[in-house]
Structure 1
């Protein structure tokens, strides 16, 4: 399956766009960020290029080996963005690593695995105090560490500002001109939910071609340069490749958002959206659920958010219907029209949007059609159709792992995603594809019958709406099915009718909430067609799934396997006899 529309030409490297915009609109703000002290940092395209060329000069002078990428241990900020662009412009490969491996781990096993694989000659860590312990635990003696603040004494660190001291334009131009399409730009690690993280190779070809593919798919980002507010982390492909790259490629602007999609941490996101009216907004279903209460309470925030918005794009397999409905309703009430809400399907290995829907999906979660330059194969596997890919945006393989690379591609050179899809209209492939689950997540119950998780998960979320954001179906080799649900706390609070200070546990055990969850479970059990689709027990968890725990994948979907592995106590409670405290049991 391919489109008739050919892929247009695209720059050799992503930073060619930085040079272009620095010449054509030097005074336009490219990057901005609200600092912890409330001050606003802004960099124009000209400012950015000047700093990027200085950083590129510093990296070139170090003669770093091409087979040992720089490791970056930082969260999103201005200095990290500059360092990334400096490395890209100089043709020096880098690898952004999940902060969780440094900040949440105590044994640093995943971080050590990354360092063993890459053997970095240089480490970038914005905050020496936060990352120092992890660096001392895993880095080779004598490796250079660049820090922005809280500089290290053991090992000694190089202050970031010293990289900005001088620029050798001729050296930078020579190094930049030497970059080839196959030159490695970065190594991006998969989430590691099923083992050690895999290092996905991103050549410059992959990064530049994917930006043009998205630009052709959503042409308004070129007609009107993208204005974006984004928190999604740069060590994952959605934020670090798609969103950062779209802002740069289109000649737009990016407000770096330090908020997170939780009730406790969403404050900076709300403040940024009060200040910046985006033209496109990308987030996770959890992110939208967290923002909606603020949109309800603040008409001015709502007006600013929708005033210039052309597209809402969500990451993951589906956006719960009730969230979609409310976003539509708010847009109509605020600006008199709906905003297109859509998504696609991709993965770290396909950088990250090889297929997307660029038409109004009418509240149906679609994979869509291949973007220009991508060829899709739907291959029969286990009674499903696996989504397979070929094109310039697909990785050539995994860093220093030829066996894993060979296994990832089929006999025709298509990358095996492990996702299953189905045709929206059988016999009419031009109508596009729908997501049909992860092949690896389907399982058999004790009777030997296959459970198709994606279909059942969709049914569960619909039956329990609006109280539930996501769900995990349990469990392999058991006699019956259960479900672990991740609640929409805002909807639960509205229904509970308790005082504002009520705890999450008080809300989730309020009679009105309990009754509606029980009714939803009963409906699921009654509407089932057999044991492989009948959910008999339900457990509510107030602890959200996150990227840091591995329960959210790089595609922002729930990892069924990671949740089941991490929440053994919940499983035990679901399947014990009698059932554990707080477990809902379907009524006959």
Structure 2
């Protein structure tokens, strides 16, 4: 991706250094392999632990009195639990599970917000060899998503179902067949075992015996895909996968275990980023983890997050690009938020999607205003099937385009698709063995060398220097052909088009499958006064229309090919709907779902009569 504005900016202004944190130099090796390349790390993976529970046990021993978790789920005040207290509760709940006959081959499902109780029962289940299956709480909260709740629960087939408050989701629970499971609720509820009753169980030698029996290839978690192409699939995460991935990241992310990290985080634990990276890595390094019950989305939840940042002043912050964009915008008019975010932040991590260079540079300018330095940013090429990171950007950079280099132990096969585009396939100890109960699908998603066919596309940032890393370039399945037969690279166009609008849009969706031309639909980051709506479409004011027209004309001037030229742009009035799967819990836009549920708007774009609301370089 060509980043025009940031290059010019670096020429005309002094660029402050990154913080004082030490980093491992990026290293990668590229070899020719059949119809492509093999990209690997020259570093040898150190011996990982059998299970991530070992990190909790070690931290509880080293920092028994340090606060491990704090939340506001059951109260407006912060509830806190130390590492020693958490370890004691984990062992008691583990004993309670053993007393119920729960162990290897059994599943403990979770439908709950991030909370102290969820963490305790999660690690207790892992301790006795049972699999944990966290299910999106949104499936229970939104009636339109209820079918996904039933599907995921049925697939998991749990013996134990933990919820934070059975009263709140009683209607959803009524749709589930609970006959084979014990319902456990953190809040008292009729027909449910109270979680607190599990935390005082006297611990016997059986807990350590069960823990000692765990093998790396045992199932540790069943994490569900987003279900963008059907019902969510259960991704098997073994104990060895999760422990290997943490060991890989520890080799390239230099973290001083004597430094007390303070995290504030909202990322849901039923997603691999929040549950497999943020939570377990925080425990591994003995961090104090404040659970943010807000979320960087428009409305009161955003203010909840802003207030929490001001109160906690984190040293490590994790987010998704959409959230970082909103926080960056909020800092423009809230210097107290900017000061709180960057006064002691040592690293900023993001994942789930690519971060626009516009937002990246704005965040760095905010950081410079506070500390005089830039904050190191870390991101990764990751997915649920890789537990989650396969490649990681672990060194300072002044661009958001790079997705990193392969982690030690990960083999990345890059199959040539043409025009510099490479399909990513993965193999290694952190890559999943398959989807649960999906033999036909599993036969399709692995090639004859055992590489997982991710369906993702990347580019080498520098073919002569593999250590420069890869850049994510979209999904093979998102690309489409125009009626002319020309292929359209959706991921690349979306990313570069977002950049060309200089932060005007929070996200875009590209259209044109079997149509005569490429068009785009998008959500403005901020809607100016005077805009009206018409059947889900935002009607731009004359000033806004002129500005957008100029932007499209500038884009088309250097992107004249039919596969890249944008003929029409539509502003969407209604936000992406989580109930319909248009956006997930991490605010990642599902292009396929948006096109499905807004098919009427798409058809109007391509109608014979030009859509009056459409913006075009020719209108």
Q: TM-score, normalised by structure 2?
A: 0.88
Q: Which residue of 2 aligns with 1:246?
A: 281
Structure 1 residue 474: Cα displacement: 0.2
8 Å CA contact 2:538–2:571 kept in 1: the answer is: no
| Deviating more after overlay: 164-173 vs 201-210 | 164-173
CA distance in 1, matches of 2:417, 2:537: 45
The answer as to 2:94 corresponding to 1:63 is no
- Where do 1:361-380 residues align within 5 Å? 361-380=397-416
Q: For residue 525 of structure 2, what is the aligned residue in structure 1?
A: 488
Distance 2:121 2:424 in 1: 35
Q: Which residue of 2 aligns with 1:331?
A: 367
CA drift at 1:513: 2.9
- Correspondence for 2:241 among 202, 206, 213: 206
Contact 1:53 1:169 in 2 (8 A): no
Rate the CA distance shift 1:101–1:300 in 2: closer, same or farther, 3 A.
closer
Q: How far apart are the structure 2 equivalents of 1:571 and 1:345?
A: 31
Q: 2:309 aligns with which of 260, 273, 280?
A: 273
Deviation at 1:299, TM superposition (A): 2.9
Q: Kindly state the Cα deviation for residue 298 of structure 1 after the two structures are TM-superposed.
A: 3.5
Cα offsets for 1:343-365 (capped at 9, x unmatched): 22111100111101112232241
1:513 maps onto 2:551 in alignment: no
Find 1:395's aligned residue among 425, 429, 432: 432
Shift of residue 142, structure 1, vs aligned partner? 5.4
- Deviation track 1:264-314 (CA, whole Å, cap 9, x = no partner) reads 021221122112222221111211122224423333332232122222222
Aligned partner of residue 435 in structure 2, secondary structure: coil
Indicate the structure whose relative CO is greater, using CA pairs within 8 Å and at least 6 residues apart. 2
- Which residues of 2 match residues 555-570 of structure 1 at below 5 A? 557-570=588-601
Deviation at 1:569, TM superposition (A): 2.7
Residue 550 of structure 1 corresponds to 581
Q: How does 1:232-381 map to 2 (within 5 A)?
A: 232-264=267-299, 265-381=301-417
The match for 2:185 is 147
Aligned partners of 2:537 and 2:573 also within 8 Å = no
Aligned to 1:90: 128
Q: Given that residues 190 and 554 in structure 1 are in contact (C-alpha distance below 8 angstroms), is that contact kept between their aligned partners in structure 2?
A: no
Distance 1:574 1:480 in 2: 10
Q: Any idea what the Cα deviations from partners look like across 1:68-89, whole Å, max 9, x if unmatched?
A: 4122111111211111121112
Output the CA distance in 2 between the equivalents of 1:237 and 1:546.
Answer: 22
CA distance change for structure 1 residues 14 and 508 in 2, over 3 Å: closer, same or farther? farther
Q: Deviations over 1:451-501 (max 9, x none)?
A: 111221123112222211221110200111110112212xx55xx5x89xx
CA 1:298–1:530 in structure 2 vs 1: closer, same or farther (change >3 Å)? closer
Q: Which moved more, 1:294-303 or 1:373-382?
A: 294-303
Q: Counterpart of 1:175? A: 210
Give the 3-state SS of the residue equivalent to 2:467 in structure 1: helix
Evaluate the alpha carbon distance shift between residue 358 and residue 183 of structure 1 in structure 2; reply closer, same or farther with a 3 A threshold.
same
**Separation in 2, partners of 1:220, 1:210:** 15
Q: 1:226 to 1:206 in 2, by over 3 A?
A: farther
The aligned residue for residue 138 of structure 2 is 100
**1:93–1:184 CA contact under 8 A, matched in 2:** yes
Classify the secondary structure of the residue corresponding to 1:349: helix
Q: Which position in structure 2 is the counterpart of 1:122?
A: 160
Contact 1:54–1:163 under 8 Å retained in 2: yes
Give the 3-state SS of the residue equivalent to 2:412 in structure 1.
Answer: strand
Cα distance in 2 for partners of 1:27, 1:221 equals: 19
Distance in 2, matches of 1:142 and 1:456, equals: 49
d(CA) in 1 for partners of 2:180, 2:241: 33
Residues paired across the two proteins, number: 576
Choose 43-52 or 312-321, whichever is displaced more: 312-321
SS at match of 2:563: helix
| Aligned counterparts, 1:516-531, within 5 A | 516-531=547-562
Q: CA deviation at 1:139?
A: 1.6
Query: How far off is 1:94 after superposition?
Result: 1.6
Change (3 A) 1:37 1:237: same
SS of aligned partner of 1:518: helix
Task: Decide whether aligned partners of structure 1 residues 544 and 223 sit closer, same or farther in structure 2, where only a CA change above 3 A counts.
Answer: farther
CA contact (8 A) 2:156 2:222 kept: no
Kindly provide the CA deviation profile for residues 401-430 of structure 1, in whole angstroms up to 9, marking residues without a partner as x: 222222221111111111111111123323
Structure 1 residue 584 corresponds to structure 2 residue 619: no
How many angstroms apart in 2 are the aligned matches of 1:567 and 1:357?
36
Give the Å deviation of 1:182: 0.9
- Give the corresponding residue for 2:464: 427
2:111 maps to what in 1? Answer: 73
SS at match of 1:393: coil
Equivalents in 2 of 1:67, 1:177: separation in Å? 16
Match among 561, 564, 568 for residue 533 of structure 1: 564
> Do the aligned partners of 2:48 and 2:247 also contact (CA within 8 Å) in 1?
yes
**How far off its partner does 1:169 sit?**
3.5
Q: Which runs of 5+ in 1 are unaligned?
A: none
The 3 A distance-change label for structure 1 pair 251 and 202 is same
* Structure having the larger proportion of residues in helix: 1
- CA distance in structure 1 between the aligned counterparts of 2:122 and 2:273, rounded to whole angstroms: 16
Match of 1:34 in 2: 72
Q: 1:461 maps to which residue?
A: 498
The reply on whether 1:51 has 2:96 as its aligned counterpart is no
After superposition, the Cα gap between the structure-2 partners of 1:36 and 1:488, relative to the gap in structure 1 and judged at 3 Å, is: farther
* Aligned: 1:436 with 2:467: no
Secondary structure of 1:380's partner? Answer: strand
More off after superposition, 322-331 vs 295-304: 295-304
**Preserved contact between residue 138 and residue 145 of structure 2 (Cα < 8 Å):** no
Contact kept in structure 1, 2:60 and 2:87, CA below 8 Å:
yes
Q: CA deviation at 1:529?
A: 2.4
Q: Measured at CA, do residues 241 and 248 of structure 1 come closer, stay the same or move farther in structure 2, by a change above 3 Å? A: same
Tell me how far apart the structure 2 counterparts of residues 190 and 338 of structure 1 sit (CA, whole Å).
Answer: 35
Structure 1 220/542 Cα, relative in aligned 2: closer, same or farther at 3 Å? farther
